[in-house]
Copies of this chain bind each other. A is one copy, B any other.
Amino acid sequence: MNKLAFLALAGSFAASAPAVAQQAEKVDQAMIAKIKDEGLNRSKVMETAFYLTDVCGPRLANSEGLQRANQWTKTQLTKWGLVNANIEPWGDFGRGWDIEKSYVAMTKPYYHAMIGAPKAWTPSTSGPIKKQVVYVKAAAETDLDKYKGQLRDKIVITEVTSPPKAGFEPDAKRYTDEELQKMTAATAGPSARPALSDDAMAAYRARIALRGKITEFLMSEGASAVLSNPRGGSDGTFFTSNGAPYAADTKPVLPEIEMAPEDQLRMIRLVEGGIPVEVEMETITKFQTQDLKGYNVIAEIPGTDRKLKSEIVMLGGHLDSWHAATGATDNAAGCAVMMEAVRILKALNVKPKRTIRIALWGEEEEGLHGSKNYVKNHFGDPATMKMLPDHEKLAGYFNLDNGTGKIRGIYLQGNEAVAPIFTAWLQPFADLGATTITPRNTGGTDHLSFDAIGLPGFQFIQDGLDYGTRTHHTNMDTYERLQPDDLKQASVIVASFVYNTAMRDQKLPRKAMPQPKS
């Protein structure tokens, strides 16, 4: 899930009453039982997750890790018997970037190895450096004046916006019955595309603009590097992001490390207390500009019905991640589940009427690029609302990208006509905790790319667990955070929904087509 969307999640609901028609929907209970048996008793979802996280490593957009993951998933899907596996370019993205060394330690007033990681797309230091630290505190551009002439050959530290709090609340939570009932009773939003409030958006833009001004100032003053912590964290856990655009023609920036809050705050307190601080650090990062394209990994289980096999059911999640951990919950979890869903179907040797197509998206974190461009290349352009022939062929798209938590239900995404269908499809999974159909929309991830041109794209409701507190975009989004039982549960539900969509007489109902944007 990308970051702007995550911020907006809580603000994406609005008022309009659902009108859910009740009608009978056939479910192949024998097949569902087989799917449950395969997925719960012979799961490979954690093995897949191990390869995606530990073996492939961090999977930043257009990084070597993402290339490894593209190759591995293509090979693995083929091994399981899927066909037409392809690492499909979606268009131009930008530079590749990888970390080759990252070391940062305080050397005065005493030695202390610190926890941090280079911000994505930031450059190397000029070899190992050891410099005095200056604390630059700027809430506005004019605050920079007092640092003029003070920063040459200095390592600059900046504010920690949210200091850690004592952990009186658990990191991880599941939805309560009451919360799920509220979601069921909620009203749908008018738009499937959530937005930050105007104030929040203005504040966000102002922060970005100020950050740009600070960077220009630090560059012009000759600072050597920046140590920052823009988003807090606690207990050595910090949030990662990019420190420069990924575009090939980007202006230079300084080397910048995103720091654990405890280490950053210690330096800040020392400097503010009049104690000189010195830091030694070495960052080596590598840019790749030979191939600026972005890619999605695609594979299929071909349809078998003469009339329906040209129609498509899609399922997907994004394969890319941030770079300071192995993107376990964001979103190896979703990809492992989607891969497990097609593995289960192949293991059962299903003969779907429609073609089932899995997509593991690239470059989601920078703005859903992989899925948006795939949709544009294959189905239609939301800017012009000119549709391609396959727009008529897509029966449905299912997405998973809200962490490692099990599925509790599904967001209707404003598509009230699917409510009775999904109600019937969820019924066999009530014993596994998945019961909720909410008229609410949700945003922040790749189903929006489909929804934007009127295609039926859905994201499941997942238990939050520690996604918001500990894992989402942090240096601790590692394999340990994955919950095996949750991922198994999600795999069998997704496999069933996909199978049902592939076998249904009709494609899933659609909402009215959106209007062109301008």
Contacts and interface: CB of A to CB of B under 8 A. Distances in A.
B105 A102 contact: yes
B167 A110 contact: no
Contacts of A163: 480
A110 B273 contact: no
Contact of A55 (B65, B270, B470): B270
A289 B103 CA distance: 30
Contacts of A55: 109, 270, 273, 275
A57 interface: yes
Contacts of A235: 235-237, 470, 476
A98 B115 CA distance: 19
Nearest to A277: B54
B111 A100 contact: yes
Nearest to A325: B262
A266 B478 contact: yes
Contacts of A99: 111, 113
A133 to B, nearest CB: 13
A218 to B, nearest CB: 24
A170 B169 contact: yes
A172 interface: yes
A191 interface: no
A112 B57 contact: yes
Nearest to A470: B235
A328 to B, nearest CB: 10
A166 interface: yes
Given A103-B113, A466-B166, A479 B266 contact: yes
Given A54-B266, A167-B470, A172-B167, A476 B236 contact: yes
A269 interface: yes
Interface string A447-489: 0000000000000000001100110000110111101000000
A221 interface: no
A50 interface: yes
Contact of A170 (B113, B115, B168): B168
A85 interface: no
Nearest to A275: B55
Interface string A235-272: 11100000000000000000000001110011001100
Interface of A: 50, 54-55, 57-58, 64-65, 68, 98-103, 105, 109-113, 115, 117, 163-164, 166-173, 234-237, 260-262, 265-266, 269-270, 273, 275, 326, 465-466, 469-470, 475-476, 478-481, 483
